[in-house]
Chains A and B, each alone.
Chain A
C-alpha cells in the first residue's frame, strides 16, 4: 500500500477520475486558492506516494476528535486523511495497549522524517510532565520522541496551538502549547474549541497534497481559513452598521436576528471560518443560532473577561474600588493644594 499513489488508492476505493477532478476543484475553492490550482492538485496527487499521519492526543477533552468524526462524509479529503494516511490515533484505531504503541513505533520507523504529526491537547510540564501520560510515557517525552521524525506538525485545536483551557488561569498542570517545546519543525496551528471538521481535514489534505505548509498568519494559522474575522464575514454584520443590537437573549432584537455585540460577541477580534464554512454540514454557526462568538480560536480566549461582556468594555476586576480610590485621593490632593495656596496667599497679604 505504501508504494501506491494517492490517486491509485482513491481509485481503489471507488473514486472515479471525475470525482477526483471535483475534489481538486472543491479543495482549491475551500483553501481559497485560484481555480487554476485545481490542476496542480490533481497532478501532485497523481504522483504522491501514500503519506503517513500520526495523531497524538495529550491534555485534551477529545472534542477535537469528536468534531473530526463529524466531518462532511464521505469527502475525499477525509478519505485521504483517515482511510489512507492515518497510522496512529489512539481514540480512533482498533488496536489498544502495547499493540497500539507498537503501531506508532512502526509507523515512525517506516516513514522517519516524512510523516505528519498531528497533536491535539496541551502538554503539562508540572510534576516532571506526569500530569498526563500514555502507556507510562509522559506527554512531554512522547511529543519530543515523535516530533523528532516528523516532517511537519499540525496542532489541532486551541490546546495544542496556544495552551487552551488547560493553560487557562491558574494553569494547575503547567500546560504549554506544542510550540513551547518543539522549535525546529514547521508547525501549523488549527485552533478552535473544537476546530471546524472540514478545516481540520482540509489542512491535513493541503499538506499531504503540496508537501508544504499553507500560508500562515502571525499566530501560525492558515490564512485561507483564519484570514478574516467572524465579524467581517457575519451575516448579521449589516445590523452592526445600522446600529441594531440585541440587548438581551430574548428581546425583540434577538428574535429579529440583530447583532450580538452588546451581548459580548467576540466576532470582531476572532479569526475563524465559522461564518462562511459553518458547522454540522453547513447548517449553522453559534451567531446564527443566537449566541455570540466566544473567540475560541484565539490565544487565551478563556481569560479575556466574561463571554457576555461587550468587547469595548475594559477588563479588570474591581472598577468601583479602583476609580473610587482615585477620586478620593485626587480630592485629598486638591484640598491640600488649595490649603497650601491659601497659606501662601495669607503670608503674601500679611507681608504687604
Chain B
C-alpha cells in the first residue's frame, strides 16, 4: 500500500472515527454535567434569548476595547473566514464531505480558493508571531495553543504545496495533506480547537446566567 492509499484509507477512517468519538464524548460529557441549583430570586424567568444574544454579541469587541483589539480581531476574522472558504468552498473538499454525508453545495473557482488559502496561511503566521512576541499572550500560551496552531496551519500549508506541486510529487504532497488533516481531526476534540463547538455552550450558558441575574452583557 502506498502513502496516498494509506492516507485515503485507514488513516482517514480511523482519524474520522476518533474525531466523532471525541466530539460525542466531550459534548455529551459537558451537556450531562450537573448544574448547581441557583437559589437566588431570578430577575428574568426566560433566559433563552439572553443566551442566544451573548453567542452573537461576543463576536464583536466592546466599544472600550475596539481600539486596542482591532488588529487581533481583524487577523482572527481573516483566518477564520479564510479557513471556512478553503475548507468548505473548494470543490474537492466539498466532494469529500459529500462522499461522507451525501450533502452538496455550490463552490468557488479553485484559483480563487488558492489565493484565499495563501492569505489564510499568511494570517496564521502573523497570529503566531503575535502570540510569541506579545508579552501577555506569550505568558498565557501553553503547548495546547502552539500545537493547535500547528495542526491548523499544516493542512493549509500542505494543501497549498500540493496544488502548486512544490517540494515533491503531487500524490506524495496530497498524501501529506490528507495525513495532516488526520492529525487535525484526531487533535480537534481533545485540544483547544474544540472551541469551534464549545463556544456555543459556554457563551450560551454565560448569557443565560447573566439574563437571569439581569446583568449587563
- Closest partner residue, chain A, to B113 (CB atom): A243
- List residues of A whose CB falls within 8 A of some B CB: 229, 232, 240-245, 261-262, 268-269, 299-300, 304-305, 309-316, 319, 322-323, 325-331, 333-335, 337-339, 341-342, 345-346
Which of A244, A316, A341: most chain B Cβ within 10 A?
A: A316
CB-contacts of B1-23 with A (<8 A): 2, 4-5, 8-10, 12-13, 16-23
The answer to the question of B29 belonging to the interface, with a C-beta cut-off of 8 Å to chain A, is yes
A304 touches B5 (CB 8 A): yes
- List residues of B whose CB falls within 8 A of some A CB: 2, 4-5, 8-10, 12-13, 16-34, 91-93, 95-96, 99-100, 107-113, 165, 170-171, 174
Number of A-B contacts (CB under 8 A): 131
Report A-chain residues with C-beta under 8 Å of the C-beta of B28.
330-331, 334-335, 338
Q: A245-B91, A312-B93, A314-B8 are in contact. Are A327 and B24 (CB under 8 A)?
A: yes
Main secondary structure of the interface of A (DSSP, over half): helix
Report B-chain residues with C-beta under 8 Å of the C-beta of A244.
109
Report B-chain residues with C-beta under 8 Å of the C-beta of A329.
21, 24
B21 touches A316 (CB 8 A): no
> What CA separation (Å) do A326 and B95 show in the bound complex?
22
> What CA separation (Å) do A335 and B34 show in the bound complex?
12
A330 touches B170 (CB 8 A): no
Main secondary structure of the interface of B (DSSP, over half): helix
Q: Could you list some 14 contacts between A and B, CB below 8 A?
A: A232-B165, A243-B107, A269-B170, A269-B171, A309-B99, A310-B96, A313-B100, A314-B13, A327-B20, A328-B24, A331-B25, A334-B27, A335-B29, A338-B28
B174 touches A269 (CB 8 A): yes
A338 touches B32 (CB 8 A): yes
A322 touches B4 (CB 8 A): no
Q: How far is the CB of A10 from chain B (nearest CB, A)?
A: 39
